[in-house]
């Protein structure tokens, strides 16, 4: 140490506390502190490299349009961008088989001719593929994982994954229905494996049953899967009994798959909210998840030709709001279906608004349809075997019975007629004219020998109304 340094040390003043620094100069438009963002999103235009050369409902515009609306509403300034990345092999294998992984990865290396030659095979599975498919599918799945991890690790409260291709039809061994990897299922499994969160609720409001997601967790009680979808006796895609009322999981997972299978198209806000209030939320509260993931398909929306249901953006907002109260507010929304670009965008924006902390818009007075009430009641009956909070009696459809009333004089008149007929063998005198008939029909009786006897005795019996006596 040089002598100069020693001198400087000696000259140092006593240890007074440092005065606080003055706030940096700033303009009014710049906040003093970094905004504490609690909501995040995942998005990449790279997922648009998967598209069909022919017109196809699963179109890249589904996500670009949502993204554009976010920019226009300046929501991106209120949300943190979560970097997207492709799913890793070991992550995909938490849900999918190795064969499945290899199958999806191989698509990238197909020649244009191989793609043409295989199109029939893929069409059978309601899929189209091209070179960009693998990358888009990997990013979509990786995006869902990152959206889930950001919430599960406590870095963010809520996230929205603007991703495609969708995932909920992709089964452990099979890609189908526009889906390559099951984004949400893989996201849930990665969370379970790499964080302390184990109990996860997945609510799927896509108009189709998420067969892939239910299959991935059918025997697993740690993941509760609840789906509301068109079913119509198992004739609506993906068809078969797996999306039915009685398909409630198996083995240790029995009771942890909940299907609310609509018996017809046209279900709207009143029907979905009725199902939420009577079945979805009671079960969700009893399950008490540590994380909620919404498989947000907007093909159940009003104006969506494919789903032909009537859920409005406000309806989706209310469902999101109800689910936001669970799991300490830890919520992930992942895009699934939704093929009318405008409708999907509006619906997604209504959900985003709620995620950003704004209340949902008001709904008009709602009454569930007869058909939805019936399905919710049947679902409640089925689920009450597994969940104590579900009370089918509270869901019983109300019989709208016309009140049947008889006045006492009418009952007495009917009895008198019956008595005279059965005991004294008297008969009713037919009357001429509608007016008379209406007023006195069945009230004028006579004996069979009316025309043979010289004498006719007439009894006139006027009935009083006993209720009028109080006057
Ligand atoms: Zn769908």
The tens digit of pLDDT for each residue in 33-84 reads 556 899 999 999 999 999 988 889 999 999 999 999 999 999 999 999 999 9
Q: Considering only CA atoms, which of 192, 186, 233 is closest in space to residue 209?
A: 233
Give the Å distance between the CA of 124 and the centre of ligand 1: 17
- Residue 431 is predicted with a pLDDT of 80
- Residue 16 is predicted with a pLDDT of 61
Q: Considering only CA atoms, which of 400, 369, 388, 386 is closest in space to residue 275?
A: 369
The whole-angstrom separation of Cα 157 and Cα 212 is: 27
Task: For residue 377, report the phi and psi dihedrals to the nearest 5 degrees.
Answer: -65, -45
Catalytic residue among 100, 168, 169, 209: 169
Give the Å distance between the CA of 359 and the centre of ligand 1: 26
The percent helix, strand, coil of the chain (3-state, each to 5) is 45, 10, 45
Flag whether pLDDT at 403 surpasses 70: no
Give one DSSP letter per residue of 367-406, joined into a string: ---HHHHHHHHHHHHHHTTT-TT--HHHHPPPP-PPPP--
| Residues pairing with 387 in the sheet | none
Burial of 369 from C-beta contacts in 10 A (0-12 / 13-18 / 19+): middle
Give the Å distance between the CA of 230 and the centre of ligand 1: 10
- Is 353 within 8 Å of 39 (Cβ atoms)? no
Residue 167 vs residues 106, 156, 403, 455: alpha-carbon distances, Å: 18, 23, 51, 94
- Residue 466 is predicted with a pLDDT of 54
Per-residue pLDDT reduced to its tens digit, 248-281: 999 999 999 999 999 999 999 999 999 999 999 9
Position 452 confidence tier, pLDDT thresholds 50, 70, 90: confident
The domains located in the chain, with CATH, are 39-395 (3.40.800.20), 408-470 (no CATH)
Flag whether pLDDT at 448 surpasses 60: yes
- Decide if 168 is catalytic: no
Task: For residue 291, report the phi and psi dihedrals to the nearest 5 degrees.
Answer: -150, 140
Give the Å distance between the CA of 451 and the centre of ligand 1: 81
Give the Å distance between the CA of 16 and the centre of ligand 1: 67
Cis peptide before 117 (omega within 30 of 0): no
Give the Å distance between the CA of 211 and the centre of ligand 1: 11
Task: For residue 434, report the phi and psi dihedrals to the nearest 5 degrees.
Answer: -65, -40
Average pLDDT over residues 114-143: 94
Contacts of residue 294, Cβ cutoff 8 Å, sequence gap at least 6? 202, 203, 204, 205, 320, 323, 331, 332, 333, 334, 351
Written as six digits, the tokens of 465 are 């109304």
Give the Å distance between the CA of 159 and the centre of ligand 1: 21
- Residue 5 is predicted with a pLDDT of 45
Average pLDDT over residues 1-22: 53
As a whole-number percent, the residues of the chain with pLDDT over 90 amount to 75
- Is 167 within 8 Å of 124 (Cβ atoms)? no
Give the Å distance between the CA of 206 and the centre of ligand 1: 5
Flag whether pLDDT at 319 surpasses 50: yes
Position 26 confidence tier, pLDDT thresholds 50, 70, 90: low
- Residue 410 is predicted with a pLDDT of 79
- Residue 66 is predicted with a pLDDT of 97
The whole-angstrom separation of Cα 388 and Cα 7 is: 79
């Amino acid at each position: 140490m040089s002598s100069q340094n020693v001198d400087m040390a000696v000259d140092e003043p006593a240890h007074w506390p440092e005065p606080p620094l003055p706030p940096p100069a700033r303009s009014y438009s710049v906040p003093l502190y970094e905004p504490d963002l609690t909501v995040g999103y995942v998005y990449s235009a790279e997922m648009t490299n998967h598209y069909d050369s022919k017109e196809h409902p699963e179109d890249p515009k589904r996500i670009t349009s949502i993204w554009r609306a976010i920019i226009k509403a300046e929501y991106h300034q209120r949300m943190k961008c979560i970097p997207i990345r492709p799913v890793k092999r070991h992550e995909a294998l938490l849900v999918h088989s190795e064969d499945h992984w290899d199958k999806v990865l191989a698509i990238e290396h197909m020649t244009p001719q191989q793609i043409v030659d295989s199109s029939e095979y893929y069409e059978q599975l309601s899929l189209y593929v091209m070179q960009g498919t693998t990358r888009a599918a990997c990013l979509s799945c990786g995006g869902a994982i990152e959206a889930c991890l950001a919430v599960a690790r406590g870095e963010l409260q809520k996230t929205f994954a603007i991703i495609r291709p969708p995932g909920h039809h992709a089964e452990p061994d099979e890609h189908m229905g526009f889906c390559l990897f099951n984004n949400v299922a893989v996201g849930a499994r990665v969370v379970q494996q790499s964080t302390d969160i184990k109990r996860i609720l997945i609510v799927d409001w896509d108009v189709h049953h998420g067969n892939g997601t239910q299959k991935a967790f059918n025997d697993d009680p740690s993941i509760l899967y609840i789906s509301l979808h068109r079913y119509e006796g198992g004739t609506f895609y993906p068809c078969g009994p797996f999306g039915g009322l009685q398909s409630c999981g198996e083995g240790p997972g029995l009771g942890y798959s909940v299907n609310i299978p609509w018996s017809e198209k046209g279900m709207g806000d009143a029907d979905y909210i009725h199902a939420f209030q009577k079945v979805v939320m009671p079960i969700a509260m009893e399950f008490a998840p540590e994380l909620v993931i919404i498989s947000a398909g907007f093909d159940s929306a009003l104006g969506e030709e494919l789903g032909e249901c009537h859920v409005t953006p406000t309806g989706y907002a209310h469902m999101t709001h109800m689910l936001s109260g669970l799991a300490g507010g830890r919520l992930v929304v992942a895009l699934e279906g939704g093929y009318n670009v405008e409708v999907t965008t509006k619906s997604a924006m209504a959900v985003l608004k709620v995620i950003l902390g704004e209340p949902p818009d008001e709904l008009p007075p709602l009454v569930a349809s007869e058909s939805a009430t019936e399905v919710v009641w049947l679902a409640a009956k089925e689920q009450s075997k597994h969940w104590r909070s579900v009370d089918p009696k509270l869901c019983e459809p109300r019989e709208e019975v016309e009140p049947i009333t008889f006045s006492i004089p009418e009952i007495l008149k009917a009895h008198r007629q019956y008595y005279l007929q059965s005991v004294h063998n008297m008969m009713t005198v037919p009357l001429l004219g509608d007016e008379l008939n209406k007023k006195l029909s069945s009230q004028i009786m006579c004996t069979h020998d009316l025309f043979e006897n010289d004498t006719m005795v007439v009894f006139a019996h006027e009935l009083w109304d006993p209720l009028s006596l109080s006057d």
